[in-house]
Structure 1
Amino acid sequence: MKKASVILTTYNAEEWLQKVLIGYSNQTEKAFELIIADDGSSEKTKNVVESIAKEYSLDIKHVWQEDNGFQKSKILNKAIIESSCEYLIFSDGDCIPRKDFVAQHIRNKEMGYFLSGGYFKLPLITSQKITKETIHNNDCFKPKWLLNNGLEFSFKLTKLTQNGFFGAFMNWITPTKKTFNGHNSSCYKSDILAVNGFNEEMKYGGLDRELGERLFNYGILAKQIRYSAICVHLDHERSYATKENWAHNNAIRKYNKKHQVTYIDKGIIKK
């Protein structure tokens, strides 16, 4: 019996997605399904998904929609509908999960809460050096390997601690706000359905945060797991980010906060 549905977004990033899926093949917790929320990728992505599913016997559903510009909210809502589990974990097709990533989300889940995680961002040179063996050996989560392969030293390396007590302490003292982050968050499916999913009025820029803010308005609280559920973010450009999109999305978030909006019209169910 599956304990969670892991929903990954992707768009024409086959090389990165392949590494990410290998990361999910390496999980200590095996009782989960993967759902690829594909916002219009070419056949190359389909081929990668099918190849990895066969090689590692992963339970993967590939949910695809036609390429019509940035429609991440729309494909996420379709993936939510396709999910078969009561608990949903959200991440991206450019974030490789540490081997205990799924286990940490399941271990920390709690009714009335969503979990707020983060990522450790890698430079392009380091992202390119990560191989199948690197992932299986857990090397790409080890500071020594990363520093030897293009990463510059910083305090942020503490995010990669594998000491449970230290991780719990850092989750407690971190000043970072508990927000719903599309690259590393989880919640009960019933809570997402209660607020009608992601807002399809929004393009790139804070659409995941907006969902979290509506969950707060609905009465759901958040727990910090930035130092427990670890994933590394592979470098890439964001050509779809514009000032206009950010301004539009921020206006929606400001309105929703002021008026305590929970349920939106253009979500999973359309009015």
Structure 2
Amino acid sequence: MRTEIIISTYNAPRFLHLTLTGILGQDVRPDSIAIADDGSGPETLRVIEAFRTAHPKIPVRHVWHADNGFRKNVILNRATESSDADHLIYTDGDCLLAPGFVARHRQMVRPDRFCSGSLIRLTDAATKNVTEGDVATRRVFQQDWLKARGTFDRTTTWLKSMPFPLPVQSALDALYPIRITWMGSNASALRDAILSVNGFDETMAYGGGDKEFGIRLSNSGVKGRRLRFTAPAVHLDHPRGYRDAEAIRRQREMIGAARSTGKTWTEHGIFPGPDPR
């Protein structure tokens, strides 16, 4: 089984560099990396080229389209369609992946399952001061480091930092009472399962596109498995100027419709049009 990490990004070269640094520190590295680039400029390309030069044994694909507003789902579909990996892990270029992240997603993969993890959110001040060394040495994932930066605002955030052995953390995954949804910054599934529902709905902007996709996966028989306390990612803080209240309202309606109708296929996905099956 070949695993590829698909990283979405848009004009955040420093964040992307830190995300790639975190991938180097994985206990189990992915077989390849795809950068799903929603129209970034040349600084992002320079980060990717520098990473390729420094680490030539790690295949890195740069899947890019021109900047025409928030079109994350479109570029994710292009990256998904063009991948030759069996197992796809999705994250964002503002996330630092805990050392056991890839290994845990790989361990839990099944044809009838998608996996969804969680985020530990840094403050703006902590984000501004994160260094490459913090990530490369794994300090950014240590409880003392996170606590000193005011990250543990609640008990569940502390539990996401994996204070207990993996079997205990796994039990917490199973017991914690929360609806399992696809989290676009920390989720995985087999590529065949993703293609079977035609990928992401390309009409959806920011706010809910990942949930709608996860509902369609679940409707197709690919059920969610929570990795809330066993596959965390540390999230770098940033503004969201692309947030659109009207789009979010419309997309909530689409999420409700997907739940109520049992919809699996989107006509606005990887392959335009109705389900050919």
TM, length-normalised to structure 1: 0.96
Task: Report the equivalent of 2:68.
Answer: 68
Structure 2: how far apart are the matches of 1:219 and 1:147? Answer: 40
Query: Do 1:129 and 1:149's aligned partners in 2 also have CA atoms closer than 8 Å?
Result: no
The residue number in structure 2 matching 1:114 is 114
Code of the residue aligned with 1:158 in structure 2: it is L
Runs of 4+ in structure 1 over 6 Å off: none
For the aligned residues, what is the CA RMSD? 1.4
Q: CA deviation at 1:3?
A: 2.3
Question: What is residue 233 of structure 1 aligned with on the other side?
Answer: 235
Tell me the alpha carbon deviations over residues 103-160 of structure 1, each in whole angstroms, 9 at most, x when there is no partner: 1100111120000111111101111222222112211011211233454553111210
Aligned with residue 182 of structure 1, among 181, 184, 188? 184
Matched residue pairs, number?
A: 270
CA contact (8 A) 2:116 2:228 kept: yes
Question: Structure 1: any 5+ residue segments left out of the alignment?
Answer: none
Which sits farther off after the overlay, 105-114 or 255-264?
A: 255-264
Q: Using the alignment, how far apart are the partners of 2:182 and 2:32 within structure 1?
A: 21
Bigger Cα displacement from structure 2, 172-181 vs 151-160: 151-160
Q: What code does the residue aligned with 2:136 have?
A: H
Question: Does the CA-based 8 Å contact 2:115-2:188 persist in structure 1?
Answer: yes
- How far is 1:248 from its partner? 1.2
Query: 1:249: which partner in 2?
Result: 251
| Per-residue deviation, residues 209-263 of structure 1 (Å, max 9, x unmatched) | 1000001111111111111112100000111112101111112122222221111
Contact 1:3/1:106 (<8 A) preserved? no
Are 2:98 and 2:231, in contact at CA under 8 Å, matched by a contact in 1? yes
Task: Name whichever of 195-204 and 154-163 sits farther off.
Answer: 154-163
State the partner residue of 2:211: 209
Aligned to 1:199: 201
User: Which residue matches 2:55?
Assistant: 56
CA contact (8 A) 2:111 2:193 kept: no
Q: 1:20 Cα deviation (Å)? A: 0.4
CA distance in 2, matches of 1:82, 1:206: 24
Q: Give the aligned residue type for 1:86.
A: D
Take 1:255 and 1:104, find their aligned partners in 2: how far apart are those partners?
32
